[in-house]
């Protein structure tokens, strides 16, 4: 069984067909710029181009940087606020001519890690964090997803958590060790709220995990994600019915 996964971000929209029995992409991903402004109709057109590029006919999963309930968008992070209130699943199903499942982007990454990645064999409470421009979160209890947690938006240190500890701060000039110490403070705060058994850290920064992990001091185990920036596409595809949702 196969499905097309689409991962929507503020700067790019990525897609690839995925084998749902292995979690592997069948061909190299295709990336197109996110339209500016990132209005729904303009982005639907890009997704239509991606479907045409792959000649795709079949189920499609779409990961959005949004709280999504039953296909309806409730928040919009890094995309235009006009997305809020749209039934994106219904719109895309009609536009693309295939059934489309729509979900939060961090939840998609979590599904990929829970099904085929670093969380596959873990029991208890597992929190997967995607560290990039912001902080996305996917929370699992004994393998069951609790969707739309958005722990990157928690109030922390007098502001928003992802403004204090997102990996983008390194690109903005913060050295990696200072960032890791901030991340450690954030993880310890999350522990005080949830007491998870395991943290899994994703996003591109996870490739440097061995460099910053010695600075992380938590009761929970901490390990890097397997799929890094590939997770959104894989999890979106799995959300069509081949993964744990």
Write down the pLDDT at residue 242: 54
For residue 221, what is the enclosing H or E element? strand 221-224
Residue pLDDT, tens place only, 3-17: 999 999 989 999 999
**For the CA atoms of the chain, what is the radius of gyration?**
17
Instruction: Decide if 2-107+230-238 and 122-225 have a common fold.
Output: yes
* Average of per-residue pLDDT across 46-74: 98
Structure tokens, 174: 């913060």
pLDDT above 60: residue 41: yes
Residues β-bridged to residue 130:
136, 202
pLDDT above 80: residue 69: yes
Topology (CATH) of 2-107+230-238: Nucleotidyltransferase; domain 5 (3.30.420)
User: In this structure, which CATH number among 2.50.20.10, 3.30.420.40, 2.40.37.10, 3.40.50.300 belongs to the domain 122-225?
Assistant: 3.30.420.40
* Average of per-residue pLDDT across 66-71: 98
DSSP 8-class letter at 87: B
Q: How far is CA 185 from CA 151, 153, 171, in A?
A: 14, 15, 20
Write down the pLDDT at residue 91: 98
At residue 243 the predicted structure's pLDDT band, cuts being 50, 70 and 90, is: very low
* Short-list 221, 131, 112, CA closest to 170: 131
Write down the pLDDT at residue 8: 97
**Helices first, then strands: H and E counts in the chain:** 8, 15
The β-bridge relationship of strands 68-69 and 125-131 is unpaired
For residue 41, what is the enclosing H or E element? helix 40-54
68, 74 contact by CB (below 8 A)? yes
At residue 148 the predicted structure's pLDDT band, cuts being 50, 70 and 90, is: very high
* Average of per-residue pLDDT across 52-72: 98
Residue pLDDT, tens place only, 177-233: 999 999 999 999 999 999 999 999 999 999 999 999 999 999 999 999 999 889 999
Q: What average pLDDT is seen over the chain?
A: 96
Q: What are the structural domain ranges in the chain?
A: 2-107+230-238, 122-225
């Amino acid at each position: 069984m196969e499905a097309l996964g689409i991962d929507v971000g503020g700067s790019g929209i990525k897609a690839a067909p995925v084998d749902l029995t292995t979690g592997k992409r069948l061909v190299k991903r295709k990336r197109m710029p996110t339209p500016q402004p990132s209005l729904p109709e303009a982005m639907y057109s890009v997704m239509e181009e991606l479907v045409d590029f792959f000649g795709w006919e079949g189920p499609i999963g779409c990961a959005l940087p949004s709280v999504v309930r039953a296909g309806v968008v409730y928040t919009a992070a890094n995309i235009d606020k006009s997305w809020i209130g749209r039934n994106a699943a219904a719109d895309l199903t009609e536009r693309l001519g295939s059934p489309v499942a729509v979900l939060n982007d961090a939840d998609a990454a979590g599904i990929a890690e829970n099904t085929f990645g670093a969380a596959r064999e873990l029991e208890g409470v597992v929190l997967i964090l995607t560290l990039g421009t912001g902080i996305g979160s996917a929370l699992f209890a004994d393998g069951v997803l609790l969707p739309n947690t958005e722990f990157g938006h928690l109030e922390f240190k007098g502001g928003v958590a992802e403004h204090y500890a997102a990996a983008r701060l390194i690109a903005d000039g913060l050295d990696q060790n200072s960032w890791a110490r901030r991340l450690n403070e954030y993880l310890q705060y999350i522990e005080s709220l949830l007491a998870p058994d395991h943290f899994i850290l994703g996003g591109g920064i996870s490739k440097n995990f061995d460099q910053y992990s010695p600075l992380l001091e938590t009761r929970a185990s901490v390990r890097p994600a397997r799929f890094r920036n590939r997770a959104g596409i894989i999890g979106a595809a799995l959300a069509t019915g081949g993964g744990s949702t």
